[in-house]
Structure 1
């Protein structure tokens, strides 16, 4: 027993006498993961399947308006994003304010407080900085989620004490010092390690959300099945809940909401509990509301009927001969057909259409009558240039870009195999890397493949690369151009550190930067020499730097 304002020792003694002969009634609480704000409880039962949508819009990655608001200290805009997601159907709000040029500890604390005062929803505190995480959760009114830990021991050592001390939930990412595994079993093994380490701090499975990390189907098509299988293994064997950043699956492909919504439905079937997504996507939310009927979360289909009773099927489009004719007229020519200039070069057709199985034989045939450099400069390079233009125009997407690059690579390999080493000019040496702290390397890998095909010697240092490692390679290999990639706002600090180190130690080196979090203005601000919005732009910059 205890008392506060207005009580006295006599009063407390009298209350004690009243209850001395009574035994508290037992409480029967079903185990569940609970995420709470001061006003709302989101409960995910351990013995059932309930969906909680985590709104992803308060994250500056790729959002210029939000980035500017954070730089300006305009937290009203941040709050407006929270309110709109609540209205659109989110159950929990992810809060990420990670920009390298702001005081993240101060801003995330302010943003968390203002969101709690303006919305009813529980929050997920999303930061890679333990100090920022603690600043937010220590003043939080409720039980939030911390996003995130992963299989790296250092990260678990930093974050699990905060989770234990403040009694929060936590997201565990299935990556470790070796990166993101390719197989379901390897992802599960990391999840198992995270759960075991959490147990050492008294953190049970009912407080853990495992994120098996969605990779884009445009470059990792076989990964989709592995991700779903990994999630099922975690659900069945570890007793945890699962989250996924669903929209990543469609990056680099057209009609992103269409593919994303199908993947979302498949993920629900595999046991997904907490999709991290944009609740403003009607197609995604249609999938959520529909699945809630099938999982009996929407008992009696009451919510579904209320929402869709007057629904108009968007696939039922009235016949319109004029529109159909226009669509037929405007359709893009099939990849690999003759260009608008009538060019029917077989190398061009094979590169543009990505037909790597035929290009080796055709290259070998043409080498009988063509100089190797003539074949490269007048056949392969123009074909790759055309692919770059089609990609810029939105007529080609990542799978087509990579298929074309792979076809060109087979052709180049054929030339190198058949020609004397000195006959093929080396256009220059380039080093590429994803900066320290960032494990996203899709963009960097595409850039590497394309630059290889343009005839440059490319040294790929991989991902999560320390600035000193970049400097060492530049010195040892006499590199003139470095490409740095970052996808996370929080790792742009490492990018800036790498740029400063290179410019101080090897002043003549030029640096290209790219990634979803960057803009031309920000690239200039952190000292980069060039900004490349995509792989094709990187090739154009390399041509400028090496004077080709």
Structure 2
């Protein structure tokens, strides 16, 4: 399980797919004059608004600090934390040096937060108390490289202090390495102090040393200190370049004012070089030379603004290249006829379009461009190629690398496979996309017929990973030895290396995403592609069955269900679902509109001016065209717990639902939340919900029409609307059981302080085994609402989900 923190509403991974994790710094009485003035005026609503604004502008975590002379820090901080619990989706960072304040906030907060901070300034007294609290409440901790001699200035001292803190936190208090975020501290390079000329160098090297010497630990940095004392516009660009350097050195998280960070793609190479000269003290002969050159250079410049005269000078080749990079398909038809006067169509593709798409891939890999814009670029590429095709000779290019793509048997998910298709085909490769639910026999047959150079297999489910593993021997016995690329959410490098590689005669490579697949294809062309290898880690002794979490109460009353058995609901208003759509998960996760290296104000404009209108347009379209047709099969059934199994009684028959147990503390298992037969038994709720098949048909149409951006938008929208339907129906069931804070059918909020119980989706972290769909289908009979089951126990349509509803007041989300 990836190290994460969480709020009441969502979990956030500490190691972002595109680093760094962004920690908003403005809700801080020491760092923000505006926040401090509001705090002194006791305007806590306005203080909360500052935290909410940071969240809306892309901060993953919100730092909260109320320490100020003459104020009651304990009262102020606990009051603000209580307000944030129900008002912020983003998790919080408790920023205090007072253990009493930290512990009080940890007791209040329902999720997993970060403590800022610990150090060795007092010789180790406070760190032990705070680590004890972090262990008790499951918090992560920022660790500053400070000891009794003061703040560490050199990389070696930063590592020495980090190791001392590690010994206390991990060895003594048994925190996990991933619970620690080491702040290597940085000092300004803008003061002219000769002793600080290498401050950036020491900080970056400190990050590298800690990541190398303390594996598993994370790193964080208060970014803006690097530019203290310089002019605001120069600080902005220096901070942005320094952040990029720190991420390359291994930085996982940054405490920043995100509004003052520029995307690196908008910083000219000349600007970057001047900043790098200062950061790395290059050409440093003579006192302050890089600093003075930096100050002079930025004294009269408008940072980040393009010289309009340069745009006029662009050649047609440059115009087409930038149209692809910028995703501008409206003007591509104007420049292509000009280029065709001087170039053959195939030369335009190979010399301009393909290099442009490769540049897009490089920008994506650096975090300088977002996935939706990659797809827009692919649409430009597709449109340009379609324009050129009628003028090209119909000859087969024997030198083009060919890739066969398929989603494996029983798996209906195609979004990941299709993204690979888009990326590869628009980088000049020939792709044979043979669809979903493809069996090994068909893959072998198609490989013999089409003679591809590589095979790419995709699958979302754990069961799909097993199918990949089991089919490797079939491919070997069929005489295949070409490279096989494996991708999907359930796969890990360890699984591929240990379970798939040994069973096949050729290279087997794990690909984490579409661009990893592109890299693998290029490595194959270069002759450097090799099978995935994994260095096995030491694994603890498995937990014995039957061990339960002792802190779970066994005295809770069992609610009275409104009925026993199964019912259908086939008339639901789709408009009830939209207030429950998790737009952050949609915009950032499904659609890929992450802030990445974008400035906070630029990201806010992107969301408000581009993303929100797309979302609202999809809502209107889905209602006008009937794309969302919610239907439900659900019911309540007597049950009882028997170790890790919940025995469900249906019409005199018992259906066992076996659930896994966490191997680490607190060793939770879903069965723990149900009473045993000796304790009087219990009640379990189950549901299967779907938004129908129309949505899947429309996403398929968009993909076939090469409308890649629209395809991604609608597919992501449909998945989050399906989850909103699950949350809505969970609210209905809580209301029927008398444990909900509001009646969803009356328009009330489903998220309240009285929210009791949890829904655990089958196939998700707490109950990943899809085999339980067999008994679930036998008594919920969802075929009537158009839902069927594949051989891999996956539900069709794809926009369908299922869950067990647990009423226990201590039930919470967890992963095994």
Structure 2-normalised TM-score?
A: 0.32
- Give the number of the structure with larger relative contact order, counting CA–CA contacts within 8 Å between residues 6 or more apart: 1
